[in-house]
Structure 1
Amino acid sequence: MSTEKTLKKEESFNNLYKKIDATSKTRFNASDRLRLHSKYSTYTVVIISLGLILISLMQAYSLGKNINNDLVTLIQIFSTIAVLVYSLLIDKNDYSNLSEKMYSCATQLGELKQKIHPFLNQPYSQISYDGFRDSYYNILKLFETHSNNYSSSDHIRARLVMPENYTIKGMEWWYSKLHIYWTLFLDFFSYILVIGTLAVVLYWVSFDWVWFWN
């Protein structure tokens, strides 16, 4: 009897609805995050390129306290390589396309979720359940993506907006929020590091900052 009840619970429409809802929200979150990656990686390439152009113009007109320093040439070469690397990463990771795939998958899961909703309070039907379950897995296979396209923050964010299914309160709620912010910070830190480094370099090229070391 216990095994039968457990099986019935695992195969209930409520459980399937919960699973689809969580997956849908997780993929919406992943889509948003990947879309930001696409935007920021493009902006980073543009900003580095503009920095290179600015340094070249400063050299042409002999502007800046340290423009004639030998390190400037090294910085230009490194920046050119950085532009190439970021361009290759953008092409390889294909953030924009992955974001669209995640969004399309989440949208189809949302539509399936709405179809299941009327069955939540109806007598259990194995045929209907099997049909919806197969549809769920077919959608996942249709939009299959590599596991490294996901972040733990995507699923935790989904759980936080599903209080009817996940009870997250007190310290667990604060820990979840902290985990989300920390994970996203690490995920996007490379853009902050590159742009921050470029800003420091441009300041060094333009001004004499001997006072900074005193």
Structure 2
Amino acid sequence: MADSGSFKNLYKKMDATSKTRFHASRRLRLHAKLSTYSVVVLSLALILISLMQAYDLGVNIAKKEVVLLQVFASVAVLVYSLLIEKNDFSNRSEKMYSCASQLGELKQKAHPLKDGEFEQGAYDGCWKEYHDLLKLYETHSNNDFRGDYLRSRLEMKEDYAMTRTERGVTIFKVWVAYSISFISYPLMLVLLAAAVYWVWFGIHLD
């Protein structure tokens, strides 16, 4: 049988889910931007190397490894393009934002009820509306959900009390989760910059 404690627990779930999906929306939006920028940078690098070949610029421009570099960059452009299409970051970000916004409205409706006199009908209505909203939108993948959820817990100090050590460990876990999620972009940029530098100035990287 539900009681006032159940209503508070339901509100806590709404709050955590709303914050988590707001974070997910921002993360997916950033993925969309970085993926697009990656395709642009790789395409510009291919154009630059082609121009260098046309004008015979660069110490290593005549080496066979340059052709290998061009093929690799072309494949990378294709892979990033396919990833953008498959993951549909922008559309998923909008869906997450819409879900979070609707949950925020439900929170406003439930907030005065959780501390007042318990009403079974009001609780049942909020519970149904909450779960109906979740069914309308996709859930997170496990790794991404963990990072977004931990960020939400850090913001909900009144619901998730942590010691300084626990808070530090949680922040570290968030950084690890987000680093794994975004590491491909800086790694690609560093490798591409090193390759172009080698083509132009002839520095030995081995």
Regarding TM over 0.5, the answer is yes
Task: Report how many aligned residue pairs link the two structures.
Answer: 206
Give 1:1-214 correspondences, 5 Å limit: 7-8=2-3, 12-145=6-139, 147=141, 150-210=144-204
In the alignment, the residues of structure 2 paired with residue 42 and residue 78 of structure 1 have an alpha-carbon distance, to the nearest angstrom, of 18
In the alignment, the residues of structure 2 paired with residue 87 and residue 149 of structure 1 have an alpha-carbon distance, to the nearest angstrom, of 23
Instruction: For structure 2, list consecutive stretches of 5 or more residues without a partner in the other structure.
Output: none
Q: Give the SS at the match of 1:91.
A: helix
| Large movers: runs of 4+ above 2 Å | 7-10, 144-151
Deviations 1:105-149 (A, max 9, x none): 000000000000111221111111000100001111111345358
| Residue type at the aligned position of 1:102 | M
Displacement of 1:59: 0.4
Deviations 1:121-178 (A, max 9, x none): 2111111100010000111111134535833110000000001100022211110111
Sequence identity of aligned pairs in percent? Answer: 54
Given the two structures, how large is their TM-score scaled by the length of structure 2? 0.95
In the alignment, the residues of structure 2 paired with residue 92 and residue 157 of structure 1 have an alpha-carbon distance, to the nearest angstrom, of 26
Of 166-175 and 140-149, more deviation after overlay is shown by 140-149
In the alignment, the residues of structure 2 paired with residue 78 and residue 172 of structure 1 have an alpha-carbon distance, to the nearest angstrom, of 44
In the alignment, the residues of structure 2 paired with residue 169 and residue 121 of structure 1 have an alpha-carbon distance, to the nearest angstrom, of 27
Of 15-24 and 145-154, more deviation after overlay is shown by 145-154
In the alignment, the residues of structure 2 paired with residue 67 and residue 37 of structure 1 have an alpha-carbon distance, to the nearest angstrom, of 33
Aligned-pair RMSD on alpha carbons? 1.6
Given the two structures, how large is their TM-score scaled by the length of structure 1? 0.92
Q: Give the SS at the match of 1:150.
A: helix
- Contact kept, 8 Å, 2:26 with 2:93, in 1: the verdict is yes
Displacement of 1:206: 0.4
Quickly say closer, same or farther: Cα 1:172–1:146, change in 2 above 3 A.
closer
Deviations 1:39-89 (A, max 9, x none): 101100100000000000000000000000000011101111110011001
Instruction: For structure 1, list consecutive stretches of 5 or more residues without a partner in the other structure.
Output: none
